Amino acid sequence: MSSYLCAIGTANPPHRIPQLQIADFMASALQLDPAGTRKLRALYRVSGIGQRYTVLPDYGRATGSFEFFPNTVGLEPFPSVGQRMAEYRRHALPLSVQAVQGCLQQLPEVSVTSITHLITVSCTGMYAPGLDIELVAALGLPSHVQRTCVNFMGCYAAVNALKLADAFCRATPEARVLVVCTELCTLHFQKSTEEDHLVSNALFGDGSAAVLVQGRPREQGPSLALTAFHCGLEPDGHADMAWHISNFGFEMTLSSYVPRMIQQGIGRLTATLLAELPVELADIRAFAIHPGGRKILESIEQALGLTTHDNRFAYQVLRDYGNMSSATVLFVLQELLHTLTAADAGAPVLSFAFGPGLTLEAMLLTVAWGEETPARHLHHVAQPVPATVVVSA
């Protein structure tokens, strides 16, 4: 039997800040001279990001009108981890509820009381009793719903959550699993001129995505059957993508070597996943790649022979939201789902996700339409069929 991703809902905070306005905030906070400010603005200009969403309005304001950061030169005293976690707890629940409501509104046949499992995902905030318990109360979920938290894995965490959802549905066919990925990355601005921090400050935004996974496809429209998973590690990248807790927030390490490592490993990861499946990379005709950053997108294009048109969903999400860590791949999948028709039933979807470790996750899905088994379902085809690729970093 298969499990099916049946709907995706997304949500963002109300503060939508243009990318170059954020650059001005950063230049002021870092007390850069004119030459440094020009270089920083150039970095933001070529990022491929037009705007990002944040729970903190300060990124669009000048000193003197801040609500979270001190209204002082240099933002001193710089906010502590405790202050940032208080903001996470304040904003994570309403944003998550909004995403869940957007998901479940697409499935009128699914009531909240029928949810059997809840999986929450985040690497940008933690507390206990946590977001999972607060969601039970806010959504009216059964008090006996089985709860699992996936924390601190970074951009590939959504794949791990879907693995869990798939396992729950395969073990209990009547299971209905709600997965909620909520990331408030902008809480963790680091006041540092180190390259890793400059890049991280230029990429990450806030967002939440919720999906419903169950043992059968939705009654109408597209679903994605969770067909196969594969995980790999690149130990040479152990120090190049990392996420550490410091005294002043969570520090992201994202070195300039990461795109090169992904480019070197993506072909091998693909070949391993597809080795025993009736689909080849050469047969893939449509792509939706999660934007870990513009350079990562370009590296994947070079490795897999893709065009910028193939990557249009990735560039769209990057432009409109930036990188929202674990939630972002679900934003891209949502864009993909909007383009599917009944003619796509049976087409496989190939997904990759990258994160600290350097961890490489691969996932194969299959398009289903309505409650009927696709005529070209992956397990029953003798020849490769067109596929869709999703890559996350």
Q: For the chain, first and last CA: distance in Å?
A: 29
Peptide bond connecting 358 to the previous residue in cis, omega within 30 degrees of 0: yes
Q: Any catalytic annotation for residue 155?
A: yes
**Which tokens is 20 given?**
């170059």
φ and ψ at residue 27, rounded to 5 degrees: -60, -40
- Using DSSP's 3-state secondary structure scheme, residue 207 falls into strand
The single-letter DSSP state of residue 61 is: S
C-alpha 185/C-alpha 250 separation (Å) is 9
φ and ψ at residue 229, rounded to 5 degrees: -135, 155
Q: What is the pLDDT of residue 374?
A: 44
- Using DSSP's 3-state secondary structure scheme, residue 228 falls into strand
Query: Out of 6, 103, 155, 169, which one is annotated catalytic?
Result: 155
132's enclosing H/E stretch is helix 131-139
Mean pLDDT, the chain cut into blocks of 10 residues (393 residues total): 93 97 95 95 96 97 93 92 96 98 96 97 95 98 97 92 97 97 95 86 96 95 90 66 70 62 71 72 70 85 84 90 95 92 86 78 86 46 39 48
pTM: 0.91
Specify the length of the chain in residues: 393
**Which tokens is 92 given?**
């994570």
Full set of structural domains in the chain with CATH: 222-392 (3.40.47.10)
C-beta of residue 269 within 8 angstroms of C-beta of residue 26: no
C-alpha 219/C-alpha 393 separation (Å) is 32
